[in-house]
Homo-oligomer: A and B are copies of this chain.
Amino acid sequence: MLSKQQLIEYSEDARKNYVNHISIDCVVFGFHEGQMKVLLLKTNDEEKWYLPGGFVLNEEHIDNAAVRILQERTGLDKIFLQQFRVFGDPDRSKFHNDMYVGMLPKEENWFSGRFISIGYYALVDFFDVTPHPDQFSELCAWRDLDDMPEMQLDHEKIYKSALDALRLQLNYQPIGYNLMPREFTMPELQKLYETILGKKLDRRNFQRRILGFGILNRSEEPRKGGAHKAPYLYSFDMENYQNALTEGFKGGW
């Protein structure tokens, strides 16, 4: 245990040596017209895009901070959010570091510090989102996953890492409630899985497997009006879905 004098010295040292800011970066996935989308921001002066992000308020839970940040960008208030990892490379700094670093002396400039970022990914319904730029940006928009622009700092690494985490999640948790409309066809759901995984799946085996999870309800009436054979419509059984979210799919050992 420290004496008072030691505590004073420790506190002084800590204030000098442990000066790290925490930020939050969010990878928001949406799904539209068979394409996986990511919500990105851009200033007009810079070519590079960046992820929606922000900071944690003094008395705020970090998960709430992520929710708050995404509310501001998307207008949504119920968001599926998953913390997936922390990015703590000392070379990384907040996106506007370059931009603002010359404008003020280092001590006065918040952005001259070093930032450790907590990565979250979110799954949202594309149609529910109204993208709002933040105070640093002029543009907030969806970008296709297979046509991603050049990005600030390590944001490419972050969104790729989020995608990896999402793919891992597919193996032991249900996915889709937050990404699909209320009713959807089996081929549409399959397309979602194929997009996330980046590969084709067998129709018949996909159907058997996903139905085996017991998280889908098939409605009586098939979808009509479209070309070709009318497909059945499905929706998620929320009770079983929630249960599968907490329980997980396979036991493993």
Question: Which A residues are within 8 Å of any B CB, using their own CB?
Answer: 1-2, 4, 6-8, 10-11, 14-15, 17-22, 43-45, 55-63, 65, 83, 85-86, 88-90, 96, 99-100, 103-104, 108-111, 114, 116, 118, 135-138, 168, 170-171, 193, 197, 201, 250, 252-253
Residues of B within 8 A of A135 (CB): 2, 6, 10
Are B193 and A104 within 8 A (Cβ)?
no
Contacting residue for A90 out of B14, B61, B99, B108, CB 8 A: B61
Residues of B within 8 A of A17 (CB): 55, 57-58
Q: Smallest distance from the beta carbon of A158 to chain B beta carbons, Å?
A: 14
Residues of B within 8 A of A18 (CB): 21-22, 55-58
Contacting residue for A110 out of B15, B45, B99, B171, CB 8 A: B15
21 pairs of residues in contact across A and B, judged by CB atoms under 8 Å: A1-B99, A1-B136, A1-B137, A2-B135, A8-B108, A10-B110, A11-B109, A11-B110, A15-B110, A18-B55, A18-B57, A20-B22, A22-B22, A58-B90, A60-B90, A61-B90, A83-B86, A86-B118, A168-B252, A170-B252, A171-B252
